[in-house]
Structure 1
Amino acid sequence: MKKAIIWIIIIAFVLSGLTAAVFSQSMVETPSIRKTPPAPVITDAERHAELARRRAAVAERMEDNSILVLLSTTPKLYSNSVSYVYRQENNLVYLTGLKQNNITFVMTKTGGEVKEFLFLPKRNPVSEAWDGKMYSTEEAAAISGLKTIIPSSERAAFLAALKTRSAYTSTEGKANIATGLANVYLLLPSSPRDQTGLREYGPENELSKELSGFNVENARPIFAALRLVKSPYEIKILQHSVDISTEAHMRAMAAAGRAKWEYEVQAEVEYTFRRRNADYWGYPSIVGCGPNATTLHYQLPKGQVRQGDLLLMDVGAEYEHYTADITRTFPVNGKFTKEQAEIYQIVYDAQEAVAKATKPGVRFALLQMTANEVIEDGLLKLGLITKKDGMQFRQWFIHGLGHWLGMNVHDVGDYGTPLAPGMVFTNEPGIYIRPDALEWLPDTPENREFIARVKPAFEKYKGIGVRIEDDLLVTANGVEWMSKNLPRSIADIEAFMAKGPGELPLTASLLPYKY
């Protein structure tokens, strides 16, 4: 009996050792994966000061004898009676920090005096049972720093008074809101053809039609100008979004060599977003392998991940209403082919040239021309265009250089505005040799000649798609690469990939999270 017990102990010890060995192997991390640093800690006082600064900046840009009304965004329908996860209107968050539905912010400016009001739904046990906890008055005040809070049940009476230019006093006697003012600021479509604006600001647009006798102003240009330049507070939050996205990229790159399908790689990305407490993605993830990388907004990750192909990942996490936007293109097997490297290097050089040209006072159009020049030179050298006419290269570089970044992935702001410290934009040149690109050209003598001359090069590079995208912060001295920790050059990517796979999605989900 004793011998049996001894053998059981020995076997258990051996098995436990094997289990530990297997488990330790499953925990192997690629040493160079940079885990997301802890989220920035922001005190109530810091948040209140930031929100108050923003509200004051908006008020300063309003005409005197004016009222600003911001409505919550309406829930977006996914299917039938199911809505998408609710996401508050950006400008309302920008001024209040509040993300709950059915709130309204009002600000008046008369004789230089500014008053602020918030309409907030009262907590409701039925609503909370279905959709979760609502803000109490105290919680909304603690988040926003706003002092005058009125039940949302009174909003209809307030809007009725506004339309008729009547006096409005809340039933609880907390507030008297001046409504007979000359100017009303609302978020409105920029024109009758602005479909995005009509979709986003339909209720405001309808309200504007009922405001006779007022000078109705579109508040969107005010917010666009203010949001274009990020404060240090905003940059801290945006940097955290970038850091989460950087780790997601690294983990997906490290796991791609074992993946069979694009959706497996995408799952690693979005798993990391959730693991690091991102709100969500800032836009639908783009993960395309081989020829699928030549589709700009590829959104059906059902293709195979093949050794020898390039895999393009354009993914960004959103944290506290600010989103990153980063793209990497890398070889699944860890090594660029000669043809892949030639295309990649052109895009890399264009990105480098843009960063070097970035400084305060420069306009975005100059950065676009800088990228165009490098890509045109490179394509001509490879034989993919026959001349530098400012047009042919657009066959392969089919989008703009980049866009402003912030609360929207394509954030608001005038692209004619000279660059200034605090602006954040994406630097994302790309080349896409779509396999069917030449087939779609109109049958003209000029195009027939073009096809005949570039066909040998086209066959050589066909199916290669490369985009490199980084998030750049304009500084007093030039630019800061917010996404600098993610491998970008050919040498750095190959070195990173050579270190082997990191933890895989299902393995990682079983492990404790430690900073």
Structure 2
Amino acid sequence: MNNRTRTLVVCFLALAAIGFVSLFQFDSALASKDAPPATVVRVTPPAPVFDDAKRLDELAARRKHVAEAIGPGAMLVMFSAEPRVYTNDVDYAFRQENNLFYLTNLNQKGATLIMMPGTHSPEILFLPRRNPAAETWTGHMYSAEEAARFSGIKEIWAASEFEPFMKAARNKESYSPKAENVLMSSPRSATGSAGNDVSSLATVCLVAAPDRGESREYRQEQRFANDWKTVAGITIKTIAPIFADMRARKSAMELEILQHAIDISIEAHERAWIAAANAKWEYEIDAEVARVFKLRNADNWGYPDIVGCGANATTLHYEESQSQCQPGDLLLMDVGAEFGHYSADVTRTTPVNGKFSPAQAAIYQIVYDAQEAAARAAKPGATLSDAHRASLAVIKAGLLKLGLITDPNSEQYRMWFMHQNGHWLGMNVHDVGGGARFEPGMTFTNEPGIYIRPDALDNLPKTPENEKLIAAIRPAFEKYRGIGVRIEDDMVITPEGAKWMTAALPRSIADIEAFIAKARRQRLP
């Protein structure tokens, strides 16, 4: 190839390359024009998927811990949740009793678990037989094989054997179920017989305290306890503290499940903020929350949605969602999805028109700073009360500066901040844990608030002291009247301190305003 030919070839290749790049850019431009723009909304990541062996190992470890806690000579009886009636012959969706689900992962009505440590049959699951007629109306029932696969429990008897077994246990007699009622049997109890398992029975353990007042959730246990109180030589006690201690510390698996519930809640918040721009009514905004919960396959809400505009934001548990939203209103949304039996609890207060007014921003910033103080106080060894005190100090100082109280050392602040700063979070939105000290794996909410209720001063007792207080704070009250702000984040304790599980949801004034401005310019997927 001579030099002239070589030059022509190089030029041809160069032109071809330029043409290819131009064509690629043209195609890309067309694709970009047709495709929806990337959205600022954080779309919920896929739900967590767990290895079956790992999941069953964790369930077995929980049951082992409970067995060791109650010890030999004890029998734990755990009943399935009872169906809850909505009206007449319509029930609410079934939700399993938390502690039974915690040990079995079973959402089956009518199931009962018995644990008898140190016996031939340390775990017996009583399971309703599958009923094709019932399943035609209300859906699938677990087979013994499915129940074993989900729970890891290998000794499964028909539910009809529960009463005969208990009758024998009351008399401390051995009991063998009918062969056809042994749906599955573990190798060490191949005969399906409890034999003399109950001969040394001295204690019956229940989740509900036997002397507790009437409980709608634990009526079945209470009836059972009342029946067994007459049995000589038997002590009835609650093991609720054991479950509370266990459930307060979340495993890595539990944290993943809870995080997914939180992620769904974050997307619901963000999409609802955007919907608020065109919404006339609170229920229209709430409808967007419900849509996201369904779209992302949440089990349900963890509690009824709180969606309040304007002065409705000053009602802590406002659930009606029947008022109109005005452009200058604040929108308080306290919503949390439930997924895998774990509930999120997330609150934000945002401006309907996308911009905080100076008065709204002043209240909001105090609450924001209080939340930051509580987060710094939440570390291993501290308590929820410590976090509350840190938050309260900031709120008192802020209210004093705004002129809404005159004495930070008094109880005046309770007019505007009347709840605790946070609570435990888990299988219940207000979960077990009591006054425990923070340890790694514990999850809780951080939720300070200020609520300037329009009728707050009218409801104060008519005393000379209050008349003086009202006169002093009246100007500030009129300035901030009707403003309600709560910021609530879900947190987990780590060795280093509190981690924000809701960090992806905008929280500061600047971040909220920037998010709303950007999101409302975009087309939502």
TM-score of the two chains, using structure 2 as the length reference: 0.88
Offset at 1:30? 7.1
> Residue by residue, what CA displacement relative to the aligned partner does 1:289-346 show, whole Å, maximum 9, x if unpaired?
0000000110100111110110000000000100100000000000000000000000
1:397 corresponds to 2:417: yes
Aligned partner of residue 117 in structure 2, secondary structure: strand
Q: Give the structure 1 partner of residue 14 of structure 2.
A: none
Q: Distance in 2 between matches of 1:70 and 1:206?
A: 13
Q: SS of the residue aligned with 1:78?
A: strand
2:220 — aligned with what?
A: 203
**Equivalent residue, structure 2, for 1:467:** 486
Aligned to 1:423: 442
Q: For the residues of structure 1 that align with 2:478 and 2:210, how far apart are their CA atoms?
A: 45
CA contact (8 A) 1:30 1:254 kept: no
How far apart are residue 53 of structure 1 and its match? 1.0
After superposition, where does 1:225-236 map in structure 2 within 5 Å? Answer: 225-236=245-256
1:104-157: CA deviations, max 9, x gaps? 01111137x881111111110111001001111111111011111101111121
2 CA distance for matches of 1:348 and 1:142?
A: 46
The AA in structure 1 aligned to 2:65 is: A
**CA–CA distance in structure 2, aligned partners of residues 230 and 390 of structure 1:** 38
AA matched with 2:45: P
User: Which among 311, 321, 324 is matched to residue 301 of structure 1?
Assistant: 321
Partner of 1:497: 516
Q: Which amino acid aligns with 1:169?
A: S
Contact 2:110 2:128 survives alignment (8 Å): yes
CA distance in 2, matches of 1:203, 1:260: 46
Which one of 347, 363, 377 corresponds to residue 327 of structure 1? 347
CA distance in 2, matches of 1:189, 1:287: 36
Give 1:255's match in structure 2, choosing from 267, 270, 275. 275
Q: Does 1:144 align with 2:164?
A: no
> SS at 1:440's partner residue?
coil
Cα separation, 2, equivalents of 1:257 and 1:145 = 50
The answer to whether the Cα contact below 8 Å between 1:315 and 1:327 also exists between their aligned partners in 2 is yes
Deviation at 1:210, TM superposition (A): 1.9
- How far 1:191 moved relative to its partner? 4.5
Could you say which residue in structure 2 is the equivalent of 1:179? Answer: 198
Q: Report the CA distance between 1:29 and its aligned residue.
A: 6.5
Q: Does 1:157 align with 2:195?
A: no
Q: Could you say which residue in structure 1 is the equivalent of 2:300?
A: 280
Partner of 1:434: 453
Using the TM superposition, name which of 147-156 and 58-67 deviates more: 58-67
The Cα RMSD (Å) is 1.8
Alignment size in residue pairs: 478
**Does 1:478 pair with 2:497?**
yes
Distance change >3 Å, CA 305–CA 228, structure 1 → 2: same
What do residues 359-394 of structure 1 show as CA deviations (whole Å, max 9, x unaligned)?
101122111111111100000000000111241101
| Change in CA separation of 1:367 and 1:117 when aligned onto 2, cut-off 3 Å | same
Name the CA shift for 1:280/1:473 in 2 (closer, same or farther; >3 Å). same
Please report how far the alpha carbon of residue 442 of structure 1 lies from its aligned counterpart in structure 2 after TM superposition: 0.8
Aligned residue number for residue 133 of structure 1: 140
Q: Is the 8 A contact 1:404 1:426 kept in 2?
A: yes
What corresponds to 1:124 in structure 2? 131
Greater RCO structure (CA 8 Å; 6+ sep): 1
What's the counterpart of residue 57 of structure 1? Answer: 65
What is the DSSP-based 3-state SS (H/G/I as helix, E as strand, rest coil) of the residue aligned with 2:381? coil
Q: TM-score normalized by structure 1? A: 0.90
Q: Secondary structure in 1 aligned to 2:458?
A: helix
Q: CA offset at residue 175 of structure 1?
A: 3.3
1:30–1:459 CA distance, 2 compared to 1 (3 A): farther
After superposition, give the CA deviation of every residue in 1:16-35 in whole Å (9 maximum; x if it has no partner): xxxxx9xx99x957722111
Q: Structure 2: state its 5+ residue gaps.
A: 1-29, 180-190
Measured in 2, the distance between the counterparts of 1:381 and 1:406 equals 37
Tell me if structure 1 keeps the 8 A contact 2:378–2:386: no
Gaps of 5+ in 1: 1-20
Q: Say if 2:382 is the partner of 1:375.
A: no
> Relative to structure 1, is the Cα distance of residues 348 and 29 closer, same or farther in structure 2, using a 3 angstrom cutoff?
farther
Q: Which amino acid aligns with 2:424?
A: W
Deviation at 1:190, TM superposition (A): 7.0
Deviation, 1:168, is 2.0
For 1:291 and 1:190, the matched residues in 2 are separated by: 44
Structure 1 counterpart SS, 2:55: helix
Q: Report the counterpart of residue 100 of structure 1 in structure 2.
A: 108
The structure with the largest alpha-carbon Rg is 2
What letter corresponds to residue 404 of structure 1 in structure 2? W
SS of equivalent residue, structure 2 residue 68: helix
Match of 1:166 among 158, 162, 173: 173
> Does the aligned pair in 2 maintain the 1:255–1:503 contact within 8 Å?
no
Q: What is the CA deviation profile of residues 422-458 of structure 1, one whole-angstrom value per residue up to 9, with x for unaligned ones?
A: 0000000000000011111111111111111111100
User: Are the equivalent residues in 2 in contact too, given 1:29–1:502 (CA < 8 A)?
Assistant: no
Taking the aligned partners of 1:202 and 1:29, their CA distance within structure 2 comes to: 54
- The structural deviation recorded for 1:474 is 0.2
Please say if residues 122 and 152 of structure 1, whose CA atoms lie closer than 8 Å, have aligned partners that are also in contact.
yes
User: 1:313 aligns to what?
Assistant: 333
> 2:157 & 2:70 partners in 1: Cα distance?
23
Larger CA deviation: 235-244 vs 176-185 = 176-185
Q: Residue 262 of structure 1 contacts residue 289 of structure 1 at CA under 8 Å; is this kept in 2?
A: yes
Q: Contact 1:423 / 1:473 at 8 angstroms: preserved in 2?
A: yes
Check whether the contact 2:248–2:433 (CA below 8 A) recurs between aligned residues.
yes
The aligned residue for residue 90 of structure 1 is: 98
- CA shift digits 1:39-86 (9 cap, x unpaired): 111121111011011111111211321111100011111111211000
Residue pairs, 1:346-357, within 5 angstroms? 346-357=366-377
CA–CA distance in 2 between the matches of 1:241 and 1:401?
A: 21
Equivalent of residue 53 in structure 2, options 22, 45, 60: 45
